[in-house]
């Protein structure tokens, strides 16, 4: 009898906690995974089709689309501002130092926007939401986890190259700088490590890791020599590409963390995550635990996607992602 009472109390507590969590999410989150369920039920399928085709055509595009979402959210929130071209009234974030001649995938976003607007019959889906969904679909296409993307963001009518220069973490950052940068975006140390795991796909220009391969001491010497071969110190190869993940840069897996464990992080900021600091244990775990990394990555992507979204009557739904209406 006592055990029945205990189980009843435990069940009631669990149901109450779940209900409270649901109510809190419903009331306090302006975004919802079902935002387009009635206004455009085919929106997500339209995005998925274009993303899968683009990534299958050029697998590197998956990392590029994921990076667009990250670089969007870290500059005044997830508002599609990174997509705006320069104009007399727009100081484009595309021209910021971390982005210029580096961020890419804008033509794919154009294709997605066209397909989604055709599926919806009018511009209903924001460019900011397109970036969030395209990031998820890119990860899935390359073998990574899936998650429910929160939707309902609206698009900014402004951009800020200055804010992009100030807010995007630099490849030269040390661990404390990385932690502070992520904290400034309401992301914690776990989010830092998990989201850095996105570097399991993609490439980086030599100019972003040249200083590391010639000056850092916490780098595998054989690996450093390999990188020097594609990254001359005289700057002649500054736009040569090096893989962020040394063995499988086109597959979303655990290799990035295994590389750090062997002191083969491409960027200085990558290796800072495994360099005798507070994040070493997380890197070690994610180097072998697929379930933990995939679950945590999905959760942190949802969390990042919630950074300062424009909702309700804020901003607009752009007709063309590159220009303000």
Is residue 81 marked as binding?
yes
C-alpha separations of 74 from 69, 78, 181, 260 in Å: 9, 7, 9, 24
Instruction: Write down the pLDDT at residue 30.
Output: 82
197 and 157 share one domain: no
Q: What is the pLDDT of residues 237-286, one digit of tens each?
A: 999 999 999 899 999 999 999 999 999 999 999 999 999 999 999 999 99
In a domain, 217, yes or no: yes
Instruction: Write down the pLDDT at residue 17.
Output: 39
185 is catalytic: no
149 and 72 share one domain: yes
Statement: residue 18 has pLDDT above 70: no
Instruction: Write down the pLDDT at residue 11.
Output: 37
Q: What is the pLDDT of residues 113-132, one digit of tens each?
A: 999 999 999 999 999 999 99
Number of domains in the chain: 2
Q: What is the pLDDT of residues 128-163, one digit of tens each?
A: 999 999 999 999 999 999 999 999 999 999 999 999
Contact present, 309 and 30 (Cβ < 8 Å): yes
Is residue 79 marked as binding?
yes
Instruction: Write down the pLDDT at residue 3.
Output: 40
More confident residue, 272 or 28: 272
- Burial readout 119-130 (b: 16 or more C-beta within 10 A, e: otherwise): bbeebbbbbbbb
Is residue 75 marked as binding?
yes
Q: Which of 12, 24, 69, 71 is labelled catalytic?
A: 71
Statement: residue 14 has pLDDT above 80: no
In a domain, 74, yes or no: yes
In a domain, 2, yes or no: no
Question: What is the full DSSP assignment across 20-54?
Answer: HHHHHHHHH-S-BTTTTTTT-TTHHHHHHHHHHHH
pLDDT bracket for residue 29 (50, 70, 90): low
CB-based contacts of 304, cutoff 8 Å, min separation 6: 69, 70, 73, 78, 185, 187, 191, 195
The residue length of the chain stands at 325
- Rounded CA gap, 176 and 197, in Å? 18
In a domain, 19, yes or no: no
In a domain, 32, yes or no: no
pLDDT bracket for residue 319 (50, 70, 90): very high
Instruction: Write down the pLDDT at residue 313.
Output: 94
181 and 153 share one domain: no
Statement: residue 16 has pLDDT above 60: no
138 and 222 share one domain: no
Q: What is the pLDDT of residues 295-307, one digit of tens each?
A: 999 999 999 999 9
155 and 105 share one domain: yes
Is residue 62 marked as binding?
no
Is residue 200 marked as binding?
yes
263 C-beta neighbours (distance < 10 Å), count:
17
User: Average pLDDT of 10-17?
Assistant: 39
Instruction: Write down the pLDDT at residue 26.
Output: 41
The per-residue pLDDT of the chain, averaged, comes to: 92
CB-based contacts of 7, cutoff 8 Å, min separation 6: none
Instruction: Write down the pLDDT at residue 52.
Output: 98
Query: What is the domain extent for residue 215?
Result: 175-303
Instruction: Write down the pLDDT at residue 173.
Output: 98
């Amino acid at each position: 009898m006592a055990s029945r009472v205990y189980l009843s109390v435990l069940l009631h507590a669990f149901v109450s906690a779940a209900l409270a969590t649901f109510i809190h999410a419903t009331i306090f989150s302006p975004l919802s995974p079902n935002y387009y369920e009635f206004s455009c039920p085919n929106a997500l399928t339209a995005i998925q089709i274009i993303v899968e085709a683009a990534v299958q055509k050029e697998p590197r595009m998956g990392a590029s689309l994921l990076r667009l979402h990250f670089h969007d959210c870290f500059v005044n929130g997830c508002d599609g501002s990174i997509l705006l071209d320069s104009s007399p009234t727009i100081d484009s974030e595309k021209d910021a130092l971390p982005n210029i001649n580096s961020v890419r995938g804008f033509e794919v976003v154009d294709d997605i926007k066209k397909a989604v607007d055709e599926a919806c019959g009018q511009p209903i889906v924001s460019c900011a939401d397109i970036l969030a969904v395209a990031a998820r679909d890119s990860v899935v296409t390359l073998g990574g986890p899936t998650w429910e993307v929160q939707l309902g963001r609206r698009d900014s009518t402004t951009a800020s190259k200055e804010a992009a220069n100030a807010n995007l973490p630099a490849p030269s950052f040390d661990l404390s700088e990385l932690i502070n940068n992520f904290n400034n975006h309401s992301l914690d140390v776990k989010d830092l490590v998990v989201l850095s795991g996105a570097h399991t796909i993609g490439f980086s220009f030599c100019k972003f890791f040249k200083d590391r391969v010639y000056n850092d001491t916490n780098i595998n010497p054989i690996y450093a020599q390999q990188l020097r071969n594609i990254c001359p110190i005289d700057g002649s190869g500054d736009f040569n590409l090096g893989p962020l993940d040394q063995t499988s840069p086109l597959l979303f897996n655990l290799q990035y963390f295994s590389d750090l464990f062997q002191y083969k992080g491409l960027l200085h900021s990558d290796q800072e995550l495994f360099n005798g600091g507070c994040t070493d244990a997380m890197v070690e775990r994610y180097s072998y635990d697929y379930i933990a990394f995939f679950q945590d990555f999905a959760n942190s992507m949802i969390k990042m996607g919630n950074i300062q979204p424009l909702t309700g009557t804020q901003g607009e739904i752009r007709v063309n992602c590159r220009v303000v209406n």
